[in-house]
Structure 1
Amino acid sequence: MSYFINLIKDRNLILQLAKNDFKVKYLGSYLGIFWAFINPIILILIYWFVFQIGFRSMPVDNVPFVLWLVAGIVPWFFISEAIAVGTNSILDNSYLVKKVVFKVSLLPIIKLLSSLFIHIIFLVAGIVLFFVYGYNLDVYYLQIFYFLIASIILVYGITLITSSLAIFSKDVGQIVSVFIQFGFWLTPIFWSFTIVPPSIQFWFKLNPVYYLVEGYRNVFIYKRWFWEDPLLTIYFWLVTLFILCIGIFLFKKLRPHFSDVL
């Protein structure tokens, strides 16, 4: 509890550093932070052109393929990006580790919130795309806040583990990249979960990211509440909280050795 109390106390510093990190990503370019808006819009337009016009992909559950794809890929972009940058958050700011006054534990969550800003832009672009196709806002969209919080907690727990281990072995960053690639294809983002034989669907559902991807699709497309699948919801939170506890324990255990290794 003391760990989370300290995070709450430092919330203003965390938000300010996250904003600075977000701005630094686009520092020096002519359009600056406007690239944060342009990139997701261009990417969604590319998906629309390739799959809807080029491949003439068939609808999934009577929903245009591009909408079905965007609803699943938006949370994945955030999760994969946040884990990737969070893993190297301490290594990339090694000069801060030896400063006694700076709390190194803030670095993973700063990178996470910086990625969250971009995710929100993607979300807005996705909502606009659904609106263009005739899908209006409804009460189910309130669940977006729930799945945002769920995604943040899961990713934060993972990055506490990976960022701590990456200091002692740079191979961790490469291993994480491989797992992200595997995770992309093992999660029903480009393919429908209905093609998986019922006998092995259980194993795919063990992936906590499955819960988040399907949750976003339930918000945008299927109009289902998260509590309508209570067993999967309970499983997700048990796994997520377990990962978070392991991450906090590992980080606090290894923190005294960071400066020696770096």
Structure 2
Amino acid sequence: MERSVFVKQVWEVLKEQVKYTPMMVRISRYEDRANYQSHYLGLLWEILNPLIQVAIYFLVFGYGLRGSSTLQGTDISFLEWMLAGIVPWFFINSVVMQGTTSIFNKIHLVSKMNFPMSILPNITIISNLMSYFVMTIIMVIIFLLKGTPINIYWGQYLYYFVAMILFLFSFSLFNATITVLIRDYQMALQSIMRVLFYLTGIVWNIPQLLPEWAANLLKLNPFMYIVDGFRDSLLLGKWFWESPSYTIYFWLLTFFFLFVGSILHMKFRERFVDFI
């Protein structure tokens, strides 16, 4: 009986995402305009900031530390390899950090508009999609200019994109709920995400630097599954089913955060205002 109640709570959260999708889009557009209305370049800063960071990382790690612009053992340029990882990472990092405080920072909206608080983490995802898509287009243009062939593996990009969105929603719902209950959680997660930038292999090839057992241990990080997946699809030509255990682990972790996050959210959301 109790198990069926938990499943019902998860299902209720998912139905809220579908029902309130138009409202999530409207709120995200309004917030984007509000955040940049006092800037001369406006929303263009969402593109300029990551482009500047990409240039810095490429100069430091592509030339400064590596002394080479080609990935060791391949004919893939370091710029292409780094872009395939850093573009999704910028999106992931922004969504995780903004989604973690989404309920705490935006709970005042609930008192002004009639909608469930479970959609607040998803608003963060939608708000960051525009800059992610533009950065992805720029990345693909660079790939084509450098002669990277378009092949059947590129179609797998859609699978990893959906996997990324579903994991980020599940993880953000969990984080946003815990942050309301435990304020220190957000600060701890911020520090962890800074470390994960390097442990996810965004700017260096972890399998070439670490022993096999250490590289496999780092795969417990779910973001590595997503980043490696984009690189496998766009550059290395590998299918996701070639690593079945890795794929099963990722989806089990995704459903864990969705399940636990939904249950905690439904249990405490009537009392969120009291905690804040």
**Fold agreement, TM-score > 0.5:** yes
- SS in structure 2 at match of 1:33: helix
Aligned match for 2:230, one of 216, 219, 223? 216
Q: Which moved more, 1:20-29 or 1:206-215?
A: 20-29
How far did 1:252 drift?
Answer: 0.8
Residue 12 in 1 paired to residue 22 in 2?
yes
User: Where do 4+ consecutive residues of structure 1 move more than 6 Å?
Assistant: none
How far did 1:100 drift?
Answer: 7.4
Correspondence list, 1:247-262, <5 A = 247-262=261-276
* TM-score computed with the length of structure 2 as normaliser: 0.87
- SS in structure 2 at match of 1:68: helix
Q: Which moved more, 1:73-82 or 1:140-149?
A: 140-149
Letter in 1 for 2:217: W
2:79 corresponds to which residue?
A: 66
- How far apart are the structure 2 equivalents of 1:73 and 1:12? 30
Ranges in structure 1 where 5+ consecutive residues have no aligned partner: none
* TM-score computed with the length of structure 1 as normaliser: 0.91
* Deviation by residue 1:156-208 (Cα, 9 ceiling, x = unmatched): 11111221122233212211101101211221212212222123333111111
1:246 corresponds to which residue?
A: 260
Residue 37 in 1 paired to residue 32 in 2?
no
- How far apart are the structure 2 equivalents of 1:254 and 1:172? 17
How far did 1:20 drift?
Answer: 2.0
Structure 1 pair 30–58 and aligned structure 2 pair: CA distance change class (3 A): closer
- How far apart are the structure 2 equivalents of 1:255 and 1:25? 27
Aligned match for 1:76, one of 80, 89, 92? 89
- SS in structure 1 at match of 2:117: coil
| Structure (1 or 2) with the greater helix fraction | 2
- How far apart are the structure 1 equivalents of 2:44 and 2:119? 27
Correspondence list, 1:1-262, <5 A = 1-52=11-62, 54=64, 56-60=67-71, 61-62=73-74, 63-99=76-112, 101-194=114-207, 195-262=209-276
Work out the number of aligned pairs and report it.
Answer: 262
How far did 1:54 drift?
Answer: 4.9
Structure 1 pair 122–171 and aligned structure 2 pair: CA distance change class (3 A): same
- SS in structure 2 at match of 1:145: helix
- How far apart are the structure 1 equivalents of 2:60 and 2:27? 38
- How far apart are the structure 2 equivalents of 1:201 and 1:43? 26
Contact 1:51–1:66, Cα closer than 8 Å, also in 2: no
2:8 corresponds to which residue?
A: none
- How far apart are the structure 2 equivalents of 1:136 and 1:18? 35
Contact 1:96–1:104, Cα closer than 8 Å, also in 2: no
* Deviation by residue 1:186-237 (Cα, 9 ceiling, x = unmatched): 2121221222212333311111111111101112210112122222111111
Contact 1:141–1:220, Cα closer than 8 Å, also in 2: yes
- How far apart are the structure 2 equivalents of 1:76 and 1:40? 10
Contact 1:36–1:121, Cα closer than 8 Å, also in 2: no
Q: Which moved more, 1:225-234 or 1:94-103?
A: 94-103
How far did 1:35 drift?
Answer: 2.1
Contact 1:47–1:66, Cα closer than 8 Å, also in 2: no
Contact 1:82–1:115, Cα closer than 8 Å, also in 2: yes
Contact 2:70–2:77, Cα closer than 8 Å, also in 1: yes
- How far apart are the structure 2 equivalents of 1:246 and 1:122? 33
Letter in 2 for 1:22: D
Contact 2:63–2:69, Cα closer than 8 Å, also in 1: no
Contact 1:82–1:111, Cα closer than 8 Å, also in 2: yes
- SS in structure 2 at match of 1:189: coil
Percent identical residues: 32
Contact 2:62–2:68, Cα closer than 8 Å, also in 1: yes
